Amino acid sequence: MFGYDLLGLIGLIILALVIVFVIRMILILIPAAIVAFVVWFITDGNLWLTGVAFLVVAALSIPKKL
The distance from CA 54 to its chain's CA centroid, rounded to whole angstroms, is: 12
Bigger pLDDT: 1 or 64? 64
Q: Structural domain boundaries of the chain?
A: 2-65
The whole model's pTM is what? 0.70
Q: Is pLDDT above 90 for 6?
A: no
List, for residues 25-46, the tens digit of each pLDDT value: 899 899 999 999 999 999 998 9
Question: Residue 15's pLDDT is what?
Answer: 97
How does 11-41 read in b/e, with b if 16+ C-beta sit within 10 Å?
A: eeeeeeeeeeeeeeeeeebeebeebbeebbe
| DSSP symbols for 21-65 | HHHHHHHHHHHHHHHHHHHHHHTTS-HHHHHHHHHHHHHHHHHHH
What's the confidence (pLDDT) of residue 2?
67
